[in-house]
Amino acid sequence: MCNNCKTKPVYKLNSGEQLCKNCFFKYFEKKVRKTIRVHKLIEKKDEIAVAVSGGKDSLTVLDLLSNIYKENKNIKIKALMIDEGIDGYRDECITPTKEFCKERNISLEIVSYKKEFGFNLDQVVEGRKPCSVCGVLRRNLLNTYAKKLKVKKLATGHNLDDEAQTIIMNQFRKNIEASARLGPMNGIEDHEGFVRRIKPLYFMSEKEIMTYAFLKSLTRNFKECPYNKESYRNQVREMLNNFEELYPGTKYSIVSSFMEILPALQKQEKKGKIKSCIKCQEPSSQDVCQKCTVLDQLKFSQ
């Protein structure tokens, strides 16, 4: 039974405490609000674009932010969707996302790989790691279109599981520079080339978000990206879930201990090395940005 109101429970916390639907909603929303407040993710007069995929995480962010700031005229929430061209997956998310935004009166911009780059992801993944190609291109389009929408921040659905996985992956691959760019708010402050990214679900687990999205009927599309199962991330995810089962709180410990060393990592990262890509003029740490490098590789190998 729910520890607070003795009704049917829907969720059991690591502490053993059980929560009914309403108490779970209160717990969830309070924790997200606290993340926004403590880490100053959203401030007065911010315009926010939520990067939506149509999945549970991004729709939860969009629903929460549009509710929290409904009465606040100083904060505007928009939605930005990238259509990578993944048959049987992304195409099925587009119509429900359009309806979701229409019901809530949220403007939605949809940008496709086909229109921007001239191909669908499905056409270029053979013999490649799909997530590596897709991640670079998607990040580029999100930043480019967030600038076009003139928003100050880009909110994503990244959660506790994503972050714990990324921290471990960066450790395993000795990629500390990439870890310095993690955290509930990343990006470079006041750099005209980058829109800062915020993660309101930073401390929420994937299971908590799934429970919330299901109970709120935010989506019935809980499909996994077909390329996900092949990924390195998926192996790390399984490893961490096994640890979490044996030692509850493992993921939170990874992320919270990482937060303590993050300021030192950020300090260590060399500053002032942002250049403009010689091909597209977008900001880059190299002469040619990652997007142009990926596009060149695809062009030459076809």
Partner 1 sequence: MKVYYDREDKNYEVKAKNVKDMLKELKINKNSVIVVVNGTIVTEEYILKTKDKIKILSVVSGG
Name the site residues for partner 1 (rule: CB under 8 A). 8-12, 18, 53-58, 131, 157, 205-207, 209-211, 214-215, 221-225, 227-228, 234, 237-238, 241-242, 244-245
What DSSP string runs through 17-36? Answer: -EE-HHHHHHHHHHHHHHHH
Name the one residue in this structure whose structure tokens are 């092949």: 230
Residue closer to partner 1, measured from CB, 229 or 270: 229
CB of 218 to partner 1, least distance (A): 12
**b/e for 13-30, b at 16 or more Cβ within 10 A?**
eeeeebbbbebbbebbee
Residue closer to partner 1, measured from CB, 123 or 231: 231
Integer Cα distance of 209 and 156 in angstroms: 13
Integer Cα distance of 87 and 122 in angstroms: 7
What 3-state class would DSSP assign to 262?
helix
CB of 89 to partner 1, least distance (A): 8
CB of 161 to partner 1, least distance (A): 8
CB of 245 to partner 1, least distance (A): 6
CB of 169 to partner 1, least distance (A): 15
Residue closer to partner 1, measured from CB, 5 or 176: 5
Distances (CA, A) of 69 to 25, 37, 47, 215, 219: 17, 13, 11, 21, 21
Residue closer to partner 1, measured from CB, 12 or 30: 12
CB of 293 to partner 1, least distance (A): 22
CB of 187 to partner 1, least distance (A): 21
Residue closer to partner 1, measured from CB, 56 or 197: 56
Residue closer to partner 1, measured from CB, 172 or 222: 222
Integer Cα distance of 202 and 64 in angstroms: 14
CA nearest neighbour of 185 among 158, 212, 161, 162: 158
Integer Cα distance of 21 and 299 in angstroms: 51
CB of 299 to partner 1, least distance (A): 25
Strand partners, 111: 82
Helix axes 160-172, 232-246, angle to 10 degrees: 110
Residues in the chain: 302
Residue closer to partner 1, measured from CB, 113 or 194: 113
Residue closer to partner 1, measured from CB, 79 or 292: 79
Helix (H) or strand (E) holding 268: helix 250-268
Integer Cα distance of 56 and 45 in angstroms: 27
